[in-house]
C-alpha cells in the first residue's frame, strides 16, 4: 500500500470511528439530539490515537510474512494432502462441539421454537418462520416419537444434523483459504477459532432457523468466491453446477432474507464484471446454474405455498426501519402533526394504542414492539400511498428519522452498545410448549453448563477489552471497512477482489434492516468474515485452465 493510500485510509477511518465511538454512539444511547461541546476533546483525542494506530496497521499488515514455507507445520500439511487436511479440519470442529451437544441435549429450545412446535404438530399456515425449517422440525419430532418414543430424541437428532452441516461448511471455508493461498498461520487460526468459539458450539445445537441458514450461507459464499475469482475454472467441475443451485436454494429457503443476499451478490458481480464479459457461450451453463435458485425459490414460495394454503410472511417483517421511524415521530412529535397526518398515522399503526399500553411502549433500540402494532393489510392495500406518507413525514422530521435509525442499528456500528448482543440461549421451560419437551442432558457437567450460560448472557465478556471483539456486533462494520482498505491496492480490485466482499456487504445490509442489533443476526457475518482474509492475503487472480484440467474436489 502506497504512503498516500495509508495516510488517506488512516485519517478517513479514524474520523469515522471517532465520530461513531465518541459522538454519535453516546448521543444515540442517551437519546440526545443536540450536540454537547464537551464531546469535542474526547473526539479529538480518539481521532489522533486512531490515526497513529491505523497508520501502523496499514504499514505493518501488508508486510507481514505469515507464510510458513520451510516450517515443520507447512511441510506436514502439504504431506497429508488436501482431502486429509479438509477431513481433519472438519473433524476438529465437529469434535470440539460435542461437549455442548452432550450438556445441552437435546438442544437449546429458543423462543421461536414455541410457535414452530405448534405449527409442526398442528399445521403450518404461514411463512413467518421458514416453512422448510418447520417441516424439518416436524419430520424429526415424529421420527423421534416413532423410533424412540419421545419428541426430544428427534430434536436431538436434528441438533446432530445441524452440527454436521455447520462444521462441514466451516471446514469448507477454511479449505477455501488454503486453496487461495492465504498465509498458513491465518488458515490454522481460522480453523481453531471456528472450533473453539463458544457461539458456534451453542448455536449449532440451538433450534432456530439461523443455524441451517448460516451453514448453507457459508457454503454459498465458498462457491460464490470461486465464481467471482475464476468462473472458467469453476465451470470445468460439472459437480459445481449441480450442487450450487441446491445449496443456494436451501440458503434462501431456511431464512426469508436469503434470497435478497443471493440476488444482491450476483447483480453486483454482474455490474462489476460487465465490461469484461467475453465468450458468453462457454458460461451458459453457469448462467443457468445462477438463475436456477431464483426460479426454484419462486416456485417454492408461489405455486407450492398456494397449493398448501401457506400465507407469505407479513409485510411488516421487512419494514422494521420505516415503522420504527414513523413510531418515533408519533411519540416525540405528536404535537407537530396535523389532524390529517395523525389520522393517517393511526391508519397504519394500531390507533397509537401502543403509546399508553405497557407491553407496547416505544423502544428505540428494538423495532419488534413497533412492528407488532403495524397494520400490514393497510400497507398491502396501497404500498405507494404508504411510501408517499413515509417520505412526507421524513421530509418534515429528518432528525427524528435519523435518530430512530441510528438507535435501532446502534449495536451494529457502535462498539460500546451490547444490550442485545446475547446468544439465543433462552432454553424455555418444557411447559410453555404445546407438548412438554423434557431436558435430557447426556452429560451433566455443571461447570461447562455454567460456562455456556455465562458467555451467552454475561456482560463481563462484552466489557472486557479485546475479548469484546467476539461478543459485541458493533465491531462487524469496522472489520469490513478495514479489510476493504487493506485490499485496496491489489491488482484488479473492483473485478477480482471487491466481489469477495459482496456477501459480507449484503449480510451487513440485512443486519441494519433487522428489528434490533442482536449478535444472533450478526453471527452469519462473523462466520463469513474469513472471506476478508482471502481478499487481503489470498490469490484472487484467475489461472489459465484447459478443458482437461478438471481436478477432484477434496470437499465432495
Please indicate, yes or no, if residue 413 is contained in any of the structural domains. Answer: no
Based on the domain organization, do 203 and 129 belong to the same domain?
yes
Q: What is the pLDDT of residues 89-134, one digit of tens each?
A: 999 999 999 999 999 888 888 878 888 888 888 888 888 889 999 9
- C-beta atoms surrounding 22 within 10 Å: 20
Helix (H, G, I), strand (E, B) or coil at 466: coil
Q: What is the pLDDT of residues 227-247, one digit of tens each?
A: 998 888 898 888 999 999 999
Based on the domain organization, do 299 and 322 belong to the same domain?
no
Of 76, 78, 50, 145, nearest to 106 (Cα)?
145
Q: What is the pTM of this model?
A: 0.92
Based on the domain organization, do 433 and 336 belong to the same domain?
no
Rounded Cα distance between 276 and 82, Å, is 32
State the Cα torsion 454-457-460-463 to the nearest 10°.
Answer: 150
Please indicate, yes or no, if residue 74 is contained in any of the structural domains. Answer: no
Mean pLDDT, range 248-263, rounded to an integer: 95
Based on the domain organization, do 118 and 25 belong to the same domain?
no
Based on the domain organization, do 387 and 476 belong to the same domain?
no
Please indicate, yes or no, if residue 328 is contained in any of the structural domains. Answer: yes
Question: Would you state the pLDDT for residue 550?
Answer: 54
Q: What percent of the chain has pLDDT over 90?
A: 52
70 pLDDT band (50/70/90 cuts)?
very low
- C-beta atoms surrounding 480 within 10 Å: 18
Rg (CA), the chain: 25
Instruction: Tell me the CA distances in angstroms from 510 to 214, 258, 422, 513, one per residue in order.
Output: 13, 9, 18, 5
Based on the domain organization, do 370 and 507 belong to the same domain?
no
Phi and psi, residue 378, nearest 5°: -70, -35
Q: What is the 3-state secondary structure (H, E, C) of 210-279?
A: HHHHHHHHHHHHHHHHHHHHCHHHHHHCHHHHHHHHHHHHHHHHCCCCHHHHHHHHHHHHHHHHHHHCCC
Of 521, 486, 513, 517, nearest to 501 (Cα)?
486
Mean pLDDT, range 490-506, rounded to an integer: 92
Helix (H, G, I), strand (E, B) or coil at 10: helix
Question: Would you state the pLDDT for residue 326?
Answer: 93
Instruction: Identify which has the larger pLDDT, 282 or 257.
Output: 257
Mean pLDDT, range 419-431, rounded to an integer: 73
Q: What is the pLDDT of residues 514-556, one digit of tens each?
A: 998 888 889 999 999 999 999 998 888 776 555 555 556 677 6
Rounded Cα distance between 229 and 534, Å, is 11
What stretch of H or E contains 63? none
Q: 462-471: list long-range contacts, CB under 8 Å, 24+ apart.
A: 462/418, 462/421, 468/415, 468/418, 470/197, 470/199, 471/418, 471/421, 471/519
- C-beta atoms surrounding 56 within 10 Å: 12
Based on the domain organization, do 309 and 325 belong to the same domain?
no
Buried b (16+ CB within 10 A) or exposed e, 514-551: bbbbbbbbbbbbbbbbbbbbbbbbbebeeeeeeeeeee
Please indicate, yes or no, if residue 419 is contained in any of the structural domains. Answer: no
Instruction: Tell me the CA distances in angstroms from 203 to 217, 433, 547, one per residue in order.
Output: 15, 20, 42
Phi and psi, residue 108, nearest 5°: -80, 120
Please indicate, yes or no, if residue 330 is contained in any of the structural domains. Answer: yes
**The domain containing residue 352 runs over which residues?**
315-408
Question: Would you state the pLDDT for residue 278?
Answer: 61
Based on the domain organization, do 397 and 435 belong to the same domain?
no
DSSP bridge pairs for 311: 126
Tally the C-alpha atoms within 13 A of residue 346's C-alpha that lie toward its C-beta: 11
Please indicate, yes or no, if residue 73 is contained in any of the structural domains. Answer: no
DSSP bridge pairs for 366: 516
Please indicate, yes or no, if residue 357 is contained in any of the structural domains. Answer: yes
Question: Would you state the pLDDT for residue 452?
Answer: 85
What stretch of H or E contains 346? helix 339-348
Residues with Cβ within 8 Å of 532's Cβ and at least 6 positions away in sequence, in order, are 479, 480, 483, 487, 500, 501, 504
Rounded Cα distance between 139 and 266, Å, is 33
Task: Give me the number of domains the chain comprises.
Answer: 3
Mean pLDDT, range 446-465, rounded to an integer: 84
What stretch of H or E contains 33? none
Based on the domain organization, do 162 and 270 belong to the same domain?
yes
Please indicate, yes or no, if residue 41 is contained in any of the structural domains. Answer: yes
Instruction: Identify which has the larger pLDDT, 546 or 385.
Output: 385
265 pLDDT band (50/70/90 cuts)?
very high
Q: What is the pLDDT of residues 302-347, one digit of tens each?
A: 999 999 999 888 888 889 999 999 989 988 888 899 999 989 988 9
Based on the domain organization, do 282 and 383 belong to the same domain?
no
| 66 upstream amide cis, omega within 30 of 0 | no
67 pLDDT band (50/70/90 cuts)?
low
Rounded Cα distance between 526 and 265, Å, is 18
Instruction: Tell me the CA distances in angstroms from 366 to 107, 416, 513, 519, one per residue in order.
Output: 27, 17, 11, 13
- Cβ atoms of 209 and 202 closer than 8 Å: no
Based on the domain organization, do 332 and 189 belong to the same domain?
no
Rounded Cα distance between 19 and 316, Å, is 32
Based on the domain organization, do 358 and 453 belong to the same domain?
no
Describe the crossing of helices 476-486 and 3-18 by its angle, rounded to 10 degrees. Answer: 170
- Cβ atoms of 90 and 167 closer than 8 Å: yes
**Torsion sign, CA atoms 70, 71, 72, 75:** negative
Q: Residue 350, by phi and psi: left (phi above 0), alpha (psi -120 to 50) or beta?
A: left
State the Cα torsion 14-500-258-477 to the nearest 10°.
Answer: -10
Amino acid at each position: 500500500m502506497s504512503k498516500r493510500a495509508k495516510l488517506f485510509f488512516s485519517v478517513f477511518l479514524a474520523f469515522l470511528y471517532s465520530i461513531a465511538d465518541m459522538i454519535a454512539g453516546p448521543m444515540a444511547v442517551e437519546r440526545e439530539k443536540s450536540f454537547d461541546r464537551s464531546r469535542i476533546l474526547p473526539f479529538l483525542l480518539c481521532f489522533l490515537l486512531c490515526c497513529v494506530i491505523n497508520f501502523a496497521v496499514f504499514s505493518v499488515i501488508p508486510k507481514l510474512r505469515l507464510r510458513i514455507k520451510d516450517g515443520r507445520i507447512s511441510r506436514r500439511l502439504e504431506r497429508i494432502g488436501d482431502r486429509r487436511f479438509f477431513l481433519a479440519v472438519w473433524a476438529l470442529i465437529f469434535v470440539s462441539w460435542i461437549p455442548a451437544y452432550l450438556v445441552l441435549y437435546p438442544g437449546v429450545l429458543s423462543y421461536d421454537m414455541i410457535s414452530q412446535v405448534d405449527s409442526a404438530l398442528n399445521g403450518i399456515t404461514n411463512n413467518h418462520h421458514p416453512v422448510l425449517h418447520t417441516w424439518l422440525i416436524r419430520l424429526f419430532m415424529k421420527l423421534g416419537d416413532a423410533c424412540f418414543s419421545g419428541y426430544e430424541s428427534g430434536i436431538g437428532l436434528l441438533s446432530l444434523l445441524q452440527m454436521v452441516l455447520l462444521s462441514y461448511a466451516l471446514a469448507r471455508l477454511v479449505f477455501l483459504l488454503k486453496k487461495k493461498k492465504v498465509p498458513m498461520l491465518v488458515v490454522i487460526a481460522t480453523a481453531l477459532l471456528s472450533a473453539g468459539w463458544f457461539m458456534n458450539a451453542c448455536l449449532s445445537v440451538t433450534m432456530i432457523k439461523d443455524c441451517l441458514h448460516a451453514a448453507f450461507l457459508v457454503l454459498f459464499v465458498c462457491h460464490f468466491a470461486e465464481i467471482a475469482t475464476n468462473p472458467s475454472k469453476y465451470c470445468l467441475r460439472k459437480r459445481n453446477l449441480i450442487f450450487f443451485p441446491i445449496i443456494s436454494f436451501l440458503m434462501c429457503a431456511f431464512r426469508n432474507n436469503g434470497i435478497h443476499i443471493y440476488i444482491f451478490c450476483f447483480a453486483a458481480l454482474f455490474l462489476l464484471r460487465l465490461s469484461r464479459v467475453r465468450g458468453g457461450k462457454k458460461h451458459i451453463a453457469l448462467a443457468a446454474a445462477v438463475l436456477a435458485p431464483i426460479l426454484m425459490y419462486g416456485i417454492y414460495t408461489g405455486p407450492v405455498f398456494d397449493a398448501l394454503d401457506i400465507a407469505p410472511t407479513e409485510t411488516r417483517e421487512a419494514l422494521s426501519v420505516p415503522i420504527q421511524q414513523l413510531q418515533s415521530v408519533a411519540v416525540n412529535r405528536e404535537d407537530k402533526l396535523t389532524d390529517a397526518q395523525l389520522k393517517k398515522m393511526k391508519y397504519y399503526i394500531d390507533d397509537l394504542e401502543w403509546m399508553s399500553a405497557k407491553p407496547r411502549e416505544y423502544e428505540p433500540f428494538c423495532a419488534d414492539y413497533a412492528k407488532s402494532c403495524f397494520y400490514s393489510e393497510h400497507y398491502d392495500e396501497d404500498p405507494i400511498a404508504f411510501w408517499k406518507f413515509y417520505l412526507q413525514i421524513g421530509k418534515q422530521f429528518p432528525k427524528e428519522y435519523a435518530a430512530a435509525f441510528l438507535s435501532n442499528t446502534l449495536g451494529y456500528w457502535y462498539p460500546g452498545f451490547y444490550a442485545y448482543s446475547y446468544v439465543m440461549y433462552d432454553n424455555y421451560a418444557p411447559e410453555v410448549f404445546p407438548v412438554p419437551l423434557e431436558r435430557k442432558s447426556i452429560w451433566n457437567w455443571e461447570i461447562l453448563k455454567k460456562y455456556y450460560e455465562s458467555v451467552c448472557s454475561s456482560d463481563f465478556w462484552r466489557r472486557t477489552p479485546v475479548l469484546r471483539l467476539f461478543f459485541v456486533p458493533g465491531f462487524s462494520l469496522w472489520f469490513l471497512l478495514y479489510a476493504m482498505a487493506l485490499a485496496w491496492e491489489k491488482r484488479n480490485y473492483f473485478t477480482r477482489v471487491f466481489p469477495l466482499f459482496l456477501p459480507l456487504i449484503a449480510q451487513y445490509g440485512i443486519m441494519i434492516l433487522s428489528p434490533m442489533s442482536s449478535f444472533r443476526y450478526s453471527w452469519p457475518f462473523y462466520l463469513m468474515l474469513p472471506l476478508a482474509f482471502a481478499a487481503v492475503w489470498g490469490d484472487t487472480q484467475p489461472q489459465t485452465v484447459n478443458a482437461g484440467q478438471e481436478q477432484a474436489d477434496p470437499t465432495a
